[in-house]
Structure 1
Amino acid sequence: MVYQVIQKLIDRGVEVQLIEPEDKIYARNQILALLGLTEFKPVEVGNTDMADIPDLLNQLVEYAISQHIIKDIFDEKEILASQIMNCLVTRPSAVNQTFYEKYRNSPAAATDYFYELSKNSNYIQMKRVQKNIEYKVCTEYGELDITINLSKPEKDPRSIELERAAVSTEYPKCLLCIENEGYAGRIGHPARANHRMIRVNLLEENWLLQFSPYVYYPEHCIVLSEKHIGMSISPTTFQRLLFFVAQFPHYFLGSNADLPIVGGSILSHEHYQGGHYTFAMAKAEADYRFNLVKFPAVDCSVVKWPMSVIRLRSQQFSPLVDVADHLLKEWRNYSDEALGIIANTGETCHNTITPIARKNGLFFELDLVLRNNRTSLVHPLGIFHPHADVHHIKKENIGLIEVMGLAVLPARLKEEMKEVENYILGESASVADYHAVWAEELKTRYQRDVTKANVEAVVREEVGKKYLKCLEDAAVFKRDEQGRKGFHRFIQSVM
């Protein structure tokens, strides 16, 4: 009975502190209106009969479909679910007030509050995130995180067709704009009625803190500009990142690079990503240290990592900005043709940096990952990009999250890896053509050692090795003798 589901949802909203008991009738009436109901029939709900919020939402959405209130189309279902949850979430001003009241006690208490609210409001799609396959792979660089992304549901053909036919609009301009807060959504643009953002001051500019709807790691947050301006790596970027971690020392914050191929998926809106998680790269030790005479207050090192990373450390973040600015300017114009590094082709710039800031005890740390986005006939997707031999595992950009040691791999691998496992075991298998060479190589190598009990672990580890190869491909200075000498040449050039 629909009334029982509504009551359960409201009771859950009170239990997880989305609303107060005094809000129950108001919230109920708002939900009734969305479902085309003009009355509510009191029902008994036992304490043991408390389903999760996402499950209750799905039941109400199915009811709406059965009553022809909405069509059985992905976007319409998402819009209604978001609107129902919006009845249980307070206004942005109240969320921000509570956040900063808790911040006065501790920054962690404030982010804990907002993270729980974002999960309980179903803005963070935890029910879907839990479908992801996650594991770790041990390497010489530490434990790399592997995620096979199963959280984003595939749209049905009708939804795709409607999206193609939908009238285009520039409101909101992109998925990150502030105008998404509370936006109902439409065909082709996600529902955001239950979306809330925290206002954050960065260098006297208005920025917004939110969480990713599909978190890839604990408290995976996004910090975005109030203005719809393009991505840019500059001294101001370094200042913002460090200023943020000074305010929230339990979080790291990093920026995707600002060029295609080596940048993230959204270059049209200035934003950063962070969270309460320590990646393998943050744990990586120094390969060797060096000193910059002009900047004695900063400890500099090259990090032992498959990509080319310089780490800066200081108890004050102002000197870090000065050094990072110096290195960025030098790298923008640096070429080493023997290693395929060319700074510019005509007016086109190829060199940039992926920066990551964190607080480590008393020290601020700023990691600068050197990037170059040149392409060639041999590597049309990028010279310093995953090469063709790993495209069957990952073909997409190596963005900020991947740089730090977390692979986000396509959903297709879930079933494809099972077929490879069957093939290695000598069982009937339908191996995708692009996995054929890899599968045969694994079968030959593990013929005597693999069993049904360990074949999944074997294939998962081999996928992790492919991801490591992706990172090695993306390094501008490889970790071989030639690459090490090249990195030394660059370090010498900036001293």
Structure 2
Amino acid sequence: MLIDNLVQQLIDQALAAQLIEREDEVYVRNQVLALLQLAAFKENDASENTILDIPDLLEQIVDYACEQGIIEDLFDEKEMFSSKIMNCFIARPSSVNQSFYEKYRQNPEAATTYFYNLSKNSNYIQMKRIRQNIEYKAATEYGDLDITINLSKPEKDPKSIELERTAQKTDYPKCLLCVENEGYAGRIGHPARSNHRMIRVNLLEEKWYLQYSPYVYYNEHCILLSEKHTDMKISPTTFERILSFVEQFPHYFLGSNADIPIVGGSILSHEHYQGGNYRFAMAKAGLDWMFKMAGFSNVECSVVKWPMSVIRLRSGEISSLVEAGAHILAKWKNYSDETVGILANTGEIPHNTITPIARKNGGLFELDLVLRNNRTSDEHPLGIFHPHADVHHIKKENIGLIEVMGLAVLPARLKTELEEVEKFILGREDAQVADYHLNWAIELRERYQAVAEESNVESIVREEVGKKFLRVLEDAGVFKRNEAGTAGFKRFIKSI
């Protein structure tokens, strides 16, 4: 397709997606032509062409830029150029925020729907790549766990990786979450963000910024980040902030990764939370038992039936939930019970913290407090309450907020590796099972060889991966769901 046709079709698709108005067409076209170093444009009837969506059109336009020597055929260069093209179609942050809050006055859901669609249509959220992910649900006694094999982040070419190693280091923006990423062109080793916009949110008279994850793992997967580049910290103020956000956006949940290594998130250097418009298995889970806390008569307290150790607080009063959560956090940070392997500190190093999640459920606010401990041992050098070695072939990485709630984010390598396991179960001689899967594959073949067929072997392996993820969550639970663990949990409940 000729470049003029591609540009026109991109404009037509942007009009259809309401990124721009008809009055913007000539202006936007000229901005795109300038990036493509084109001095002229030939009007054409794009309706005769095969209709492509925005990501496919962008890919072809970027390929043209590479062919013409406008940019190098490198991953980061192409990402930056693509982002710059889409920036031509998006209003400035002030206008985006104005539109957001005009819609917010109608209702909060209208506002977030507008911003989510803008983020997808502008290709900031990489929907084409996200659709490559393998996603399914695995039934367990705790509900349906979400399993995602993450194929959305493309492999970088060797030259890009080498350039990244040798690129001059800079601390602007300080990290991938800082507000300075809004509109940032990107560079080798730092993602392109020309088409990135953030919504200004007031939380407890502090400035926070709402954005969506470029690689969403669930519906409207958002990130709320502090204006200040300060370390993650779980405190009573954390509870107050996330509940305040849910009060403003009652159709969203909001939670925080823990604030210490091993059990914390991947970015501990910038205070941020994650949320969205999705009900995870943990939110739907039933209750093991109810209990009361002295001084908090208007707070319903319970232990959630979940493989990790979760206390759920419910109340119509945010202040009561914050005070009750603060009481539990203070107790937990200093709580030890050697009979179940829990030590609050090793010398000056703290081990106990909480992963909190807030939501609105009916007329009440809910605050889930997931108890975490990051101790290590000779037997479990990566963490005692971390996936153990026998599940590392499926999941070795930290168990953060998303996994805690019941969504496994599994490495891309599993796509091809699990296909080989399926062949092995079927007894095929061409199966090439990775060494770290071999014991598991032998066990599955012994168990399923009598019933496994081409038509059902994939579902068998997927179900078994779901069981492994359940094991991951059980490993991360500080009070195990056995007699000793339940007795230990009840001792902690008694202490609060």
By the TM > 0.5 criterion, same fold? yes
Identity %, equivalent residues: 71
Moved over 3 A (4+): none
Aligned counterparts, 1:124-139, within 5 A: 124-139=125-140
How far the C-alpha of 1:452 sits from its partner, in A, is 1.0
Distance 2:255 2:48 in 1: 44
- 1:358-417 C-alpha deviation (Å, 9 max, x unpaired): 000000000000000011110000000000000000000000000000000000000000
Aligned to 1:364: 365
| Alignment RMSD (CA, Å) | 0.7
Aligned counterparts, 1:202-241, within 5 A: 202-241=203-242
Match status 1:468 vs 2:483: no
Aligned to 1:159: 160
SS in 2 for 1:366: strand
Match status 1:90 vs 2:100: no
- 1:329-356 C-alpha deviation (Å, 9 max, x unpaired): 0000000111110001111100000000
Aligned to 1:448: 450
Distance 1:47 1:243 in 2: 51
Aligned to 1:176: 177
Distance 2:209 2:390 in 1: 40
Match status 1:191 vs 2:196: no
TM-score where L is the length of structure 2: 0.99
Distance 1:338 1:231 in 2: 30
Question: Does the Cα contact within 8 Å between 1:12 and 1:50 map onto a contact in 2?
Answer: no
SS in 2 for 1:463: helix
- 1:442-490 C-alpha deviation (Å, 9 max, x unpaired): 0001121111110000000000000000000000000000000000000
How far the C-alpha of 1:41 sits from its partner, in A, is 1.4
SS in 1 for 2:445: helix
* 1:287 aligned partner, one-letter code: D
How far the C-alpha of 1:39 sits from its partner, in A, is 1.2
Distance 1:180 1:50 in 2: 33
- 1:33-59 C-alpha deviation (Å, 9 max, x unpaired): 111111111111117743100000001
Q: Which consecutive residues of structure 2, in runs of 5 or more, have no partner in the other structure?
A: none
Distance 1:278 1:378 in 2: 36
Q: Which consecutive residues of structure 1, in runs of 5 or more, have no partner in the other structure?
A: none
* 1:449 aligned partner, one-letter code: V
Question: Does the Cα contact within 8 Å between 1:207 and 1:225 map onto a contact in 2?
Answer: yes
Aligned counterparts, 1:346-365, within 5 A: 346-365=347-366
* 1:140 aligned partner, one-letter code: E
Select which of 434, 437, 452 maps to 2:436: 434
Match status 1:278 vs 2:290: no
Distance 1:34 1:394 in 2: 43
Aligned to 2:260: 259
SS in 2 for 1:355: strand
* 1:384 aligned partner, one-letter code: F
**Pairs aligned (count):** 494
TM-score where L is the length of structure 1: 0.99
* 1:359 aligned partner, one-letter code: K
Distance 1:475 1:295 in 2: 26
Match status 1:41 vs 2:57: no
Aligned counterparts, 1:454-493, within 5 A: 454-493=456-495
Aligned counterparts, 1:321-400, within 5 A: 321-400=322-401
Match status 1:14 vs 2:15: yes
Distance 1:328 1:236 in 2: 12
Distance 2:12 2:23 in 1: 12
